[in-house]
Amino acid sequence: MASPIHLKAHRFPPPPLLLLLSLLVVAAAALESEATASTASHQTDAADTTDTAFFIFGDSTVDTGNNNYIKTIPENRADYKPYGQASFFGGPTGRFSNGRVIVDFIAEYANLPAIPPFMQPSADYSRGVNFASGGGGVLPETNQEQAIDLPTQLKNFDKVREKLFEKFGEMRAQEIVSEAVYFISIGSNDYMGGYLGNPATRQLHPPEEFVGMVIGNLTNAIQELYKRGGRKFGFLSLGPLGCLPALRAANPNSNAGDGGCFEDASGLAQAHNNAVNGILLSLQHIFKGFKYSNSNFFEWLAQRMSNPSNYGFKDGVNACCGSGPYSGVFTCGGKQEAEYKLCENPEDHVWWDSFHPTEKIHEQFAKALWDGPPSAVGPHNLQDLFFDKDKATIADLVDGTVEQDFMY
């Protein structure tokens, strides 16, 4: 990893919200005719209830095996031991964890089967698809040609949508798409590798401008999914990136009073989360039927690192698998061709490897997102979204012309 520059967290304000909102208003008006044209020919029987599908977009936090099928670097794969050593799958699957990841638990809570990776041959897409890719970013330039970026994941969703229309017909397929929950967990790689690890990008863009680029592209992705019929969204916000074992190990000021956390990376994550919160709050007013679930993963994870014993852990700082300071050198696994240490009990650790948390963290956060109270998860929890009885009808989609829903 390239040596990161020294930025101050308080210099990372969110991008100008009014500018982003003005872009949303313009985009919303453009969506009106397209949304009407794509749904006017569909009719839905209100008495016909269906199971909710689950579509997943993101990076290694939610990748369940897509990178097994693409050409990439060893660091972007997890289909080898000791990954997956927890007994649930019986071995490595491509998940960047010692076992399951957050979307596996969410699918279980929703009474869904394991959601297949998009790249998996002959996968059944009718109950949902996972498009996530380890190393992927919101921006296509992030880890280019080494991962599946978010714009490409959206193109893959279009392919799935076409197959659903071919298999089930327009009415049923549109119903699946409009009733589905869309879960998005992405952005860390844009800031860690795409910005802090890229001197050329840092010279071109001040931090607040780069955050604005990421937020703008993420907002566009949400709008594209809405245009295709998506109405219910779940989000995994960014954690304190500077406190990952890898960034603690790479921090030149690791003896600082903050316990070695790299303040610059965490500042970018905070600015990103603040901007996303503002965008989501606005989208629910601009787009008819738009519902979302979000929470403060930054503080949630920081608490478990600072006070691990309060949450059933013994170590909130050091990775279970890796080498060097904090086990933060990313050497976990046979394909890394380097020696590494492996802890005896991953359940004692917040961190599994240099960048990724243990299955236990994934499960705890999945539970919090699933049925957490409004004070912790909002404005909806995922249980509300999956078992929402106020199902959107085609009339809602047609009548929901964004013009009449603007909040000026």
The residues annotated as belonging to the active site are 60, 353, 356
Using DSSP's 3-state secondary structure scheme, residue 378 falls into strand
Report the candidate in 102, 106, 128 with the shortest Cα–Cα distance to residue 117: 128
Residues 6 or more apart whose CB falls under 8 angstroms from that of 127 comprise 51, 53, 54, 112, 113, 115
Report the candidate in 182, 193, 283 with the shortest Cα–Cα distance to residue 233: 182
Distance CA 182, CA 153 (A): 12
Distance CA 104, CA 73 (A): 25
Distance CA 132, CA 134 (A): 7
Say which residue the tokens 């970013």 belong to: 137
Reported in sequence order, the residue ranges of 134-177 that DSSP labels E, i.e. its strands, are none
Residues 6 or more apart whose CB falls under 8 angstroms from that of 53 comprise 126, 127, 128, 176, 177, 179, 180, 181
Q: Which residue type is seen at 290?
A: F
Q: Which residue type is seen at 4?
A: P
Report the candidate in 134, 235, 220 with the shortest Cα–Cα distance to residue 185: 235
CA distances, 10 to each of 81, 236, 263, 269, 372 (Å): 40, 23, 10, 12, 30
Distance CA 191, CA 355 (A): 13
